Chains A and B, each alone.
Chain A
């Protein structure tokens, strides 16, 4: 990516962006790993809230009652009571931020409700009684739940094993430097420091990412790990000054248990797999090595260097490995090995030519989980090739549990396939809640 921007500074506003595009945002309930996912079915159009009144000349902060007229991720389009059908003063507000409260909050906190100066009503009591009696408001513990779900078991100084971005077939020891909304900035222990003390190589991922593991994981599953170069001194960086604490298995998401008996994946079996270095491509691939605990190393056919350094580790339950024929069955272009023509490639011929067998279909996790995403929905998504960036994105296709994400304003070659339960996708408004920088769309809207 040629440049990095801050959506807020760039003047990007989700509300007006959605209104212009006429598209919907994916609901919070689609994202199981995000704050308030479980509570979101109690949030819907018609709810009443107390919200900061921006239509007043009063010098102090005052509030007024509003109704949710539209939802977009964490964002709600609100209409102040009294405006009736007049939508000219509607405002987009993030329900996860502090200035939206359940009805009754102002009275408890001794803050008077003051109507917008544009609305005139003879008898506010009767009017509000009529509007509020029998209506619903947001849960009393809404913000408490939000704060609870933003707690993270990781803090600066915790050591982990994470994929080595310079050689994806191995892991590397890293230390947590920053945590924002469950996303970890990890500093490789021997990355080295630049002239200004900056770390020369880091990695961002969500704490539930399949790329990050507890210390000792690599040895446990027989995965290659880079030996830390002890000649590199990182001691002057804040993340390395304190005593480090090794992460433990309980701090990580448990993966689905897979049975690794005689019928498990075997070396040489052919599969289709998302290319870890070109995430918009699903390629002809091979199982290169079977590790322990359900993990396998996968190579992309025809483009491997030959020394195994470009193999990638996937768990057998991963969405990123697919049975032979998956692309054809789902009308997805299969990326074939160099020398083959996509139009004439067939699996039976290829298997015969390579003397290989296809991995049995039952070994794959292709459960239909009923995720709720549909094409056209907007969201905030990590660019997995530059994982510090969370970008404005659109679901371009849904195929089973896979989503093809398009980054708004970018060429389709940047599109990426992700699992519907990936921890690297977030509802509209997530960056605003967590304080993470959002990358706006590039180019003219």
Chain B
């Protein structure tokens, strides 16, 4: 995970739901450091 002040970036699987169907992609998303 890459860090910035007070938070951390994590690779996350996120769902994409289009009219043609659903699939997942891996993206960077940040959240509070715990």
Within 8 A of A (CB), among B1-34: 4-7, 9, 12, 14-23, 25-32
Does chain B have a CB within 8 A of A103? yes
Does chain B have a CB within 8 A of A129? yes
A135 to B27, CA, bound (A): 5
Does chain B have a CB within 8 A of A41? yes
B16 close to A136 (CB less than 8 A)? no
Residues of A within 8 A of B22 (CB): 107
Bits for A110-153, please: 1 = Cβ < 8 Å to B, else 0.
Answer: 11111100000000110011001111110111000000000000
A112 close to B29 (CB less than 8 A)? no
CB-contact partner of B18 in A114, A136, A137, A141, under 8 A: A114
Residues of A within 8 A of B6 (CB): 38
B17 close to A106 (CB less than 8 A)? yes
The bracket for how many chain A residues form the interface is: 20 to 34
Does chain B have a CB within 8 A of A39? yes
A133 close to B5 (CB less than 8 A)? no
A-B contacts counted at CB < 8 A amount to 82
CB-contact partner of A125 in B4, B15, B20, B27, under 8 A: B20
Within 8 A of B (CB), among A305-340: none
Residues of A within 8 A of B27 (CB): 48, 103-104, 132-137
CB-contact partner of A112 in B7, B19, B23, under 8 A: B19
Q: A42-B4, A137-B14 are in contact. Are A129 and B28 (CB under 8 A)?
A: no
A134 close to B29 (CB less than 8 A)? no
A353 to B14, CA, bound (A): 74
B30 close to A42 (CB less than 8 A)? yes
A173 to B6, CA, bound (A): 40
Residues of B within 8 A of A42 (CB): 4, 7, 9, 30
A111 to B18, CA, bound (A): 9
A129 close to B29 (CB less than 8 A)? no
A124 close to B14 (CB less than 8 A)? no
Residues of A within 8 A of B9 (CB): 42, 136
A140 to B31, CA, bound (A): 7
Name A residues whose Cβ lies closer than 8 Å to a Cβ of B.
Answer: 38-39, 41-42, 48, 65, 102-104, 106-108, 110-115, 124-125, 128-129, 132-137, 139-141
Sorted nearest first, the 6 A-B pairs with minimum C-beta distance are A104-B14, A107-B15, A107-B17, A136-B28, A132-B25, A139-B30
Contacts A124-B20, A129-B25, A136-B29 supplied; 11 other A-B pairs, CB < 8 Å? A41-B5, A102-B14, A106-B17, A107-B15, A124-B18, A128-B16, A132-B16, A134-B26, A137-B14, A139-B31, A141-B31
Sample of 21 A–B contacts (CB below 8 Å):
A38-B5, A39-B7, A41-B5, A42-B9, A103-B25, A104-B14, A104-B15, A104-B16, A112-B18, A114-B18, A114-B19, A115-B18, A124-B20, A125-B21, A129-B23, A129-B25, A133-B25, A137-B28, A137-B29, A139-B31, A140-B29
